[in-house]
Structure 1
């Protein structure tokens, strides 16, 4: 199946809020996810007692909300900023 164009490899536009976190689009969903994680790690936004929990700063909060969020729910929140 290599070479098939799947959703992860299709370039998407990113919202202004998301662009502030990961840079200018378009980029693939896989790149978006990778860059969001780079940002989280660079800014130490994982809860020390539970690394699956993301504690957003103001910039990331503009994308995924201001509350702590599970890394599993974060992907859905980020998806709302893709078109």
Structure 2
């Protein structure tokens, strides 16, 4: 049995040796040319067809009417939820309203109190929940 196994493995070694010698080894000129082609690739922009229409945003990306209080804060009559949260966070960062000892807590000024139900302090995870009533539900 041992001699049969040796014949099989020796045969495989012979086949693999032939396959290794048949593949060309890369030279310096071919590797340099390959590097140039990899770095010089240009991404093409997708081609728009004449009859195609762009997708309209849906879900939280869709602009919907907002309450007067949130409209005064954002300065627009309608907004997407994601844009509203982004602008609220920009305001918080600009005015440094995060609690320095507990970064997960926001200390509300008068302008934020109008949209956060008059609360003095709000947690980070509460922001999305507290602005939810400001978005008018449409059928």
TM tier relative to shorter chain: 0.7 to 0.9
Secondary structure of 2:134's aligned partner: coil
Quote how far apart the aligned CAs of 1:4 are: 7.4
Give the TM-score taking structure 2 as reference length: 0.53
Quote how far apart the aligned CAs of 1:44 are: 1.2
Higher strand share: 1
Q: How far does the alpha carbon of each residue in 1:1-49 deviate from its partner, in whole angstroms, 9 at most, with x for none?
A: xx57431111122222112222113121111111111111111111111
Unaligned 5+ segments in structure 1 are: none
Unaligned 5+ segments in structure 2 are: 1-54
Bigger relative contact order, structure 1 or 2, given CA contacts below 8 A and separation 6+?
1
Figure out how many residues of one structure are paired with residues of the other and give that number: 81
Higher helix share: 2
Question: Could you tell me which of 110, 116, 125 is aligned with 1:72?
Answer: 125
State the superposition RMSD in angstroms.
1.6
